[in-house]
Structure formats: C-alpha cells, structure tokens
A and B are shown apart, each in its own frame.
Chain A
Amino acid sequence: MPSATVNKPRPSELLSRLTSAEPEVKVRALREVKNQIIGNRTKKLSFLKLGAVPAVAGILADSIDDVTENNNCNNTNNFLVQSAAALGSFACGFDAGVQAVLDAGAFPNLLRLLANPNEKVVDAVARALRMIYQSKLAPKYDFLQQKNMEFLISLLNSEKETVSGLGASIISRSCETNLEQKALFDAGILRKLNSLLEGGSLSLRDASLESLATVFRNNPEVISKFAGPEIGRPLSSIIDLAKDRYPRTRLLACMCLIVIRNASPHFLQDIGIKTKLIHILLELLDDPGQVGDEAPFAFSSLIAQKEDLQKLALEANAIDKFHHHIKKGSLHPRRYEGILLALADMCSKLESCRSKFLSLQVLNLVADALTDYNAGVRAAACICLKSVTRSIKNLSAGYFMNETIVIPLVQLFLDPSTSVQVAALGATSNIVVDFTTRKSIFVQCGGMKQLVQLAKSMESSVRSNALWALKNFVFQADNRLKEGVFSELTASLLSSLIRDPEPSVQEQALALVRNLVDGCINLIEFVFAEDGLILGAIGRQLQCASKAEIGIQGMYALCNVASGNEFHREAVMQLLFTQMGDKNQSFVVKFLQSNDSQLRTATVWTIVNLTCPSSPGAPCRLEKLRNAGIVSQIKNMVNDPCVDVKLRVRTVLGQSMAFGDN
C-alpha cells in the first residue's frame, strides 16, 4: 500500500531530538535530517541557520570516542555513517555548508575516520570529504610535505573507489603551482591516475581526468615527461575517452587534451586532433544538462587567440551551431554566457568569422542579450559585440551605429555590475569609431554624457575605459562634436584625469586630449582654457611619466598643439623648458633616448613642428633647443633603427640647416 504521509516534525523539533539521551531517538532524528536535506538546498539553508551542523559534527566526534572505547559497535557505526552522510550533504554544492562543517571542526575527525575498519563508514566519510574538496573553501593540501604526499598515495592506492576518488579530488582542488605539479609527478602520481583512467569506474575516470588536467596545466615540462618517451601511449587513453559514450567523460577528456595543447607546443598539434576536438565540443552542445552548459567554455579555451583553430571551427560551421542554440531561447544563463563568449572568441581576429556572424543575423540575438537579467550574460554580450565591431568594413558602413544596439549598450553604462560596465565600454569604444557622420545618434541617446559621468567613477577600470571610448568617439569627429564633448568634460575634470593616480587613466586622458586638439586650430584652445589647466597638467605628467605609453600620448598631444600658431608653439616651448630647470635631465632628452621607438618618434615630431621654417619664431626656438643639447641629441639619432624616427630626425636637421646650422 503506497504510503505518502507528510507528517514530519518541525526542524527545530528534529534538532532537539539530536541531543536526546536515547540512541534510538537520536539516530532516527539524524537520519531524518539527512533525508530532508539531500537534494534540497532550501532545507540545507534552514537547518544550517538553526545550528544543525555543529550538532551533527558533535555526534560524529562523540561516536569516534565511542569507537576508541570499543562501545556498542553496530550502533556506533550507524551514528558514524549517518552523521558523515549528513555532513557530506551539507557540504554538497553549498559553500555555506562547507564553511559550517569546517567551522564545526569536523574535518580532522573525518580524516581520521578514513582508517576505520567498517566499509560503510569509510565510504560515507570519503564522500563527505570529497564534497568538501569540491569547494573553493576546502583547506589547502600541502603536497610538498612528505607525510602528506604519502597519505595521498595511500588514498589513490586504495581498493575502494570512494577513497581513490577522494585522492583525485584533493589533487584537482589543491594543486596550483608548478612546484606542486612536479612534486606530484615525481611521486609517481600521474602513472597512478593514468591507470585509474583505464581500469576505474565512470566517476573515477572522470575524477582522474580532472586531476590530470590540473597537474598538466601550464606545465610543459611535466607534460613532456609524462607523454614523451612512450610516444602517444599515455595520451592515447585520454584521446580514447574523448569518444566515450558518456558526455561528461567526453567533455572532461577534451578539457584535459586542451590543457595539454595549450601548455605544450609539441603535443596534439596535428590537424586531425584539432578537428576532432572541435567536432566533439560542438556536438556536446546538444547535451541538455550541465555538460552542454560547460561545453562552450571548453570550446573557447581551445580556440582563443588561435587563428588556425578559429578557421577550422568556421569550416565546421561553429557559428551556425551557436546561432542555432541561441535561437532556441530560454537558455540556462551559464550556457548563454558560454555561447556568447565562444562567439566573441570566434570573431576576435578573423573577418571571415565576423562576416558569417553578421550574415546569419546573430547580431540581433546578441543585442537582446544586452538586456538579460543575468549579469554574466550581459557582460558576455558586450564582449561579443566588441569582437564583432572590430570589422572595419562594417564600422565604416555605419552598420553598428543604430538604436537597436546603441541604446541598450548605453543603458549598461549604469549597470550595477562593474564588469558589465567595463565590457559595455569596450564595445562602445569600437562602435564610436564610426567613420560616417552618424556619431550624433550616440549623443542623442545620452551616450556621450554617460561616458563623461563614468569618467568620474570610483573604479579605475571604468574611468580608463570610459576615456578610451571618448577618445575613439572624438577621433576625426567634426568640431561641433568635439566642442560638445569638451564642454561636458570641462577643463578641470580633464586635467585632473591627466593627473589621475592610475597610469592607465592618465594614458587614456592624454590620448583623449591628443584626439580632441587634432585637426582644426580652434580646438587647440581647449588646452589653454581656465589658465592653461590642461597644458599645465600635461607638462607635469610628462615630467613624471611612469610608463612609455603616457609619454607617447602626452608628446603627441603637445605635437598637435605645436601644429597650431606661434602662440601655441611658444606655449609648448615654455612647457618644455619650465620643466628643464630641475636638476634632473629634461624629459625631452630622456624621451629621445628611450628604448621605445614610438616615444622617440612622438618627441621628434614635436620638435619638427616647433622648428617649422615657415614660422617666424622658429630660429629663436631652435637656438634654445640647441643650447639645451636637444639638437645634438637629435643629431646622434641620424641612424636610428626605427624608420619613422630616422625620417623625422632628418626633417629636423634639414629644418635646422635652413637656419644656418652646420
């Protein structure tokens, strides 16, 4: 007769029974708690809040004492099994639970119990420990200590799969450094894991694949030692598993192979394996569960930054497949995010991929994702846009500067998540380099004002990315647009951004000035606004430039100013010379002597503009430069290895000869 009664005591009632003096009551309550929390995250949380974990950990501890005192064995084992299982369930996929179990001091007790003679106890304990090790909160395992390594080896050698699986989980979680990887290799752990691959059960094989990947990650030396001498054999078991009947095994095997490929240029480089990996991962997308959610991330790790793989994936119709999946809709956020990032990687370098993307009308779907409720999805959509908008062909055609994209993108400037903001700014930076005259759309939807607001953000990455977008926005834009930007920014804000504590912000601010003053002479007045605030800031920043890029942008800004009229050129000269009063070497000479060819180029260009023959003040300025040793420095650069530098140097020298210099 089916029984489906739902009569059960309140949680608090259950908890009080855990401390009952009667073992029968106690063990039944313990089992009931366990059965209520398994599979039920809500219950785990509510029992946690009531203090269940310390209570259960206490029962475990008491039972260990009973074992050592040889008390009633069966009963004790029952308590041990149930309490370990309950603790394991609290820790399963639930970080708050893991923390509570660790805080209750149960961890050392669980470790001790691995040596218990009763099989069921060992199973329960090993499982509980494995749940803990699947969490980031697990205590770090120190592989470099001899005793610990021996313990780990004993775990892996165990006949019980729960125990050897625990050993594998410890490796997957705790092995981080190259040193640890080498220590594991030297202890013969890899051979052991490989044998578990071939002989073990499904879950053990999966655990071993993960561990192997962890030990191989970014360590070409360990990889070649493992795979080298018996050419292909150890790797062949992993390659076989990539074709296993279980999807999760296929995924983990692929991930392991990708780790090997990415770390070591000698292995798995032939086109056969590359094509196989692409096909297997694309096919795993069809899995409806977690495996299908993770597959696109593995795909990204395979193709990122690698044009040859992106080309192969294009030929394998990867973009069509991703499109097909996004079109289906109601995706798990993790899967959605993964597919968008995979598309971003596909389109990051190759125009052929971007063309395919645009021809399939994927852009509209990505624009939809900009308003998704999940922050990871929104950020991924922006990153995808950033890749696609690298298509100069389509940028020039003004393809992206339309309301479907720009409006939701600008809204993301106000997103609560910083990473979404930064990603949106990245995409915007490309879109605003619109070579047509449609930039006004961006202004109309309030985008420009938003960027200026973001330039005042507390987050430095937001500030620098906002400035980057503004820099691109004003690139070769018309005067009216530039004036609009400048009046919104104000001289005081821009000068303070030039003096920002973060070098990346300084660099972008200077580059923005460079683009602003480039072109029409009237625009140069910007740097003189409010008593030359900006010009002064540039001068001070160049004096203490912490990296070459800052010098480059600053000098080009000055170079553009010096392309104006006499007043402008004199102001630049004054700037260069005011700083030269210091005991320190003038930054001009320092820049000319820099290892960075772009910095040398920018500096010489500025001198070119300052000594332009057609300007009346040129001879005077030239004299000053000569006196400061700058001309002789330039003479030394006649054979500069960089062509750009060499040509500008010759221009300067040619101009100086026009004034009778030898």
Chain B
Amino acid sequence: MASSKKLISREEWEKRLNNVKIRKEDMNKLVMNFLVTEGNVEAAKKFRMESGTHHIDLATITDRMAVKKAAQCGNVKDAIEKINDLNPEILDTNPQLFFQLQQQRLIELIRNGKVEAALEFAQEELAPRAEENQSFLEELERTISLVAFEDTSNCPVGELLDISQRLKTASEVNAAVLTSQSNEKDPKLPSLLKMLIWAQNKLDKKAAYPCINDLSNARLEDPTF
C-alpha cells in the first residue's frame, strides 16, 4: 500500500520556515504577557528595561501576587482582606469563589486542631451560604466530616487537607483578580503551543515533515514514515 502522504525534507521545511516572518515585538509581548500573568514581577521589570516592552502597571501585579501568596500560605483571612482592598466587587459578585475561600479557612482551622473554632466558623459563616445552594451544602458536609476522622491522611476527604487544595484555591483567586483587572486570565503562550500541536496533528494526516515533539526545546525531528 503506497502512502498518499507527501514527504517534506528537512531542507525544504527549513526553507519554508525562513519565509515566514515573525516580528520581534510580538515575541516580546508574548514573553511579557507570560511573566505578568504568572506574577514574575522582578523578571518583568528587568525584561522591560532590557527589551523596552511595555506592560501594565506593575503595582497591580504586586498586589495580585500578595493575594496569591497569602492564599498559598493558608492565610485566607489575609487574602480575603487584600482582595477586598484591591476590588471589593470580586468576592461580592462571585459566590462560588467566596465559598471556596471560606471553605479553605475552615480547612486551615481544622488542620490546626481548632475544632471548636472550626465548628463555630462553619455554623456562622458557611451554613447560611449552604442553605441557598445544594452544591455548597455538599462541600460543607465533606469539609466538616474531616473533624470526625482521627487519621486524616487515610480518610476519604483527606485530599482537602492536601497542599494541592490550597494551591487550587490560590490559582482560582489569581484568575479572578486577573479577570477583574481586565486582563486575560490565561497567558497566551500555552494557547500558542496548543495551536502548534493541533496544527501538527492535522498535518500528520497529509504529510511527513520535520515536526516538533519536545516543546521545551522545540527541536525539529526528521520525518519518518
């Protein structure tokens, strides 16, 4: 069975690639966008100095990073206060996020063995929210059940105590603040790479050509049948 795919040699491919013009400014913007959304303030500053690429007011990045850091460390009350200083609307108009933060507060109380305070907190802050919403109620019940277990590392809801839960909350908070600061919440670079993978998959059906398999080094690998 003869292959109907077209074969493109490396030489041919590289020639075609050279014909496509990409502007340096566009690449700089992509890099800056990545640094900003990820919150690498110092790197962003340096990059601005060295490349002349503009970015949004760094103070807003710093603010946002403070919020994210507080959440990552489990200082949820602090994170909440910082968000409210930045933009009180975020938590007022996002019940899902607010509940998640309060839930994290509850988890931290339980983690520190402050059972009585935890139950009081759940009663006063979380129960009223759960009354209005079935999924909140389920989450609340899951979280409270942590109290019942002696050995939390083995219990069914043990994952709530995991650091990953904190990081998840922190990244949701980061995304919410980003959106409110009228920035795209996702950096552009990953989307670009996804597009590359998609395009290669499409092309695979029609041709054999030097493709990029390792995104981290973007090396062209020779075509194979």
Whether B47 sits at the interface, judged by CB under 8 Å, is no
Minimum CB–CB distance from A138 to chain B (whole Å) comes to: 17
- B14-22, B29-37, B85-93, B197-205 - the one binding chain A: B85-93
The residue in B94, B95, B114 that gathers the most chain A C-beta atoms within 10 A of its C-beta is: B95
Contact indicator per residue, chain A 75-98, by CB within 8 Å of chain B (1) or not (0): 000000000010011001100000
Cβ B92 vs Cβ A89 within 8 A: yes
Cβ B98 vs Cβ A6 within 8 A: no
Which one of B78, B92, B114, B120 lies within 8 Å of A92 (CB-CB)? B92
Give Cα A127 to B73, complex, Å. Answer: 30
Minimum CB–CB distance from A86 to chain B (whole Å) comes to: 8
Whether A34 sits at the interface, judged by CB under 8 Å, is yes
The residue in B89, B111, B112 that gathers the most chain A C-beta atoms within 10 A of its C-beta is: B89
Cβ B77 vs Cβ A4 within 8 A: yes
- With contacts A42-B128, A85-B84, A201-B182 known, is A2 near B73, CB below 8 A? yes
Contact indicator per residue, chain A 1-44, by CB within 8 Å of chain B (1) or not (0): 01111100000000000000000000000010011001111100
Whether A330 sits at the interface, judged by CB under 8 Å, is yes
Cβ A39 vs Cβ B180 within 8 A: no
Chain B residues with CB under 8 A of A2: 73-75, 108, 111-112
Give Cα A540 to B112, complex, Å. Answer: 84
The residue in A4, A93, A124 that gathers the most chain B C-beta atoms within 10 A of its C-beta is: A4
Minimum CB–CB distance from B125 to chain A (whole Å) comes to: 7
Whether B12 sits at the interface, judged by CB under 8 Å, is no
Chain B residues with CB under 8 A of A289: 96
Give Cα A201 to B98, complex, Å. Answer: 23
Give Cα A5 to B112, complex, Å. Answer: 10
457-483 of chain A: CB within 8 A of chain B? none
- With contacts A4-B114, A6-B117, A203-B182 known, is A93 near B92, CB below 8 A? yes
Give Cα A41 to B80, complex, Å. Answer: 16
Give Cα A80 to B77, complex, Å. Answer: 23
- The residue on A at minimum CB distance from B102 is A39
- The residue on A at minimum CB distance from B121 is A6
Cβ B182 vs Cβ A204 within 8 A: yes
Whether A161 sits at the interface, judged by CB under 8 Å, is yes
- With contacts A89-B92, A93-B93, A202-B179 known, is A3 near B125, CB below 8 A? no
Minimum CB–CB distance from A197 to chain B (whole Å) comes to: 14
Give Cα A42 to B80, complex, Å. Answer: 18
Count of chain A residues with Cβ under 8 Å from any Cβ of B?
29
- With contacts A4-B74, A4-B105, A161-B182 known, is A39 near B91, CB below 8 A? yes
Cβ B120 vs Cβ A4 within 8 A: no
Mostly helix, strand, loop or mixed at chain B's interface? Answer: helix
Chain A residues with CB under 8 A of B114: 4
Whether B224 sits at the interface, judged by CB under 8 Å, is no
- The residue on A at minimum CB distance from B73 is A2
Cβ B182 vs Cβ A38 within 8 A: no
Chain A residues with CB under 8 A of B125: 40
Chain B residues with CB under 8 A of A92: 89, 92-93
102-157 of chain B: CB within 8 A of chain A? 105, 108-109, 111-112, 114, 117, 120-121, 125, 128-129, 134
Cβ A4 vs Cβ B112 within 8 A: yes
Cβ B77 vs Cβ A3 within 8 A: yes
Which one of A35, A161, A201, A203 lies within 8 Å of B81 (CB-CB)? A35
Give Cα A34 to B80, complex, Å. Answer: 11
- With contacts A4-B109, A6-B117, A161-B182 known, is A38 near B92, CB below 8 A? yes
Whether B76 sits at the interface, judged by CB under 8 Å, is yes
Give Cα A93 to B94, complex, Å. Answer: 11
Give Cα A4 to B92, complex, Å. Answer: 21
- The residue on B at minimum CB distance from A31 is B81
- The residue on A at minimum CB distance from B131 is A42
Chain B residues with CB under 8 A of A124: 88
Cβ B182 vs Cβ A4 within 8 A: no
- With contacts A3-B75, A127-B88, A330-B134 known, is A35 near B121, CB below 8 A? no
Which one of B78, B95, B134, B180 lies within 8 Å of A203 (CB-CB)? B180
Cβ A38 vs Cβ B88 within 8 A: yes
- With contacts A93-B92, A127-B88 known, is A39 near B98, CB below 8 A? yes
- The residue on B at minimum CB distance from A128 is B88
Give Cα A3 to B114, complex, Å. Answer: 11
Give Cα A202 to B90, complex, Å. Answer: 14
Q: What 4 A-B pairs have minimum CB-CB distances, sorted nearest first?
A: A201-B182, A2-B74, A39-B98, A4-B108
Excluding A3-B78, A127-B87, 14 further A-B contacts by CB distance (< 8 Å) are A2-B108, A2-B111, A4-B76, A4-B109, A6-B120, A35-B84, A39-B92, A42-B128, A89-B92, A93-B92, A124-B88, A131-B89, A202-B182, A330-B134
Residues on B close to A: CB < 8 A? 73-78, 80-81, 84, 87-89, 91-96, 98, 105, 108-109, 111-112, 114, 117, 120-121, 125, 128-129, 134, 179-180, 182
Residues on A close to B: CB < 8 A? 2-6, 31, 34-35, 38-42, 85, 88-89, 92-93, 124, 127, 131, 161, 200-204, 289, 330
**Pairs A–B under 8 Å by Cβ, sample size 10:** A2-B112, A3-B75, A4-B105, A4-B117, A35-B81, A38-B80, A39-B95, A202-B182, A289-B96, A330-B134
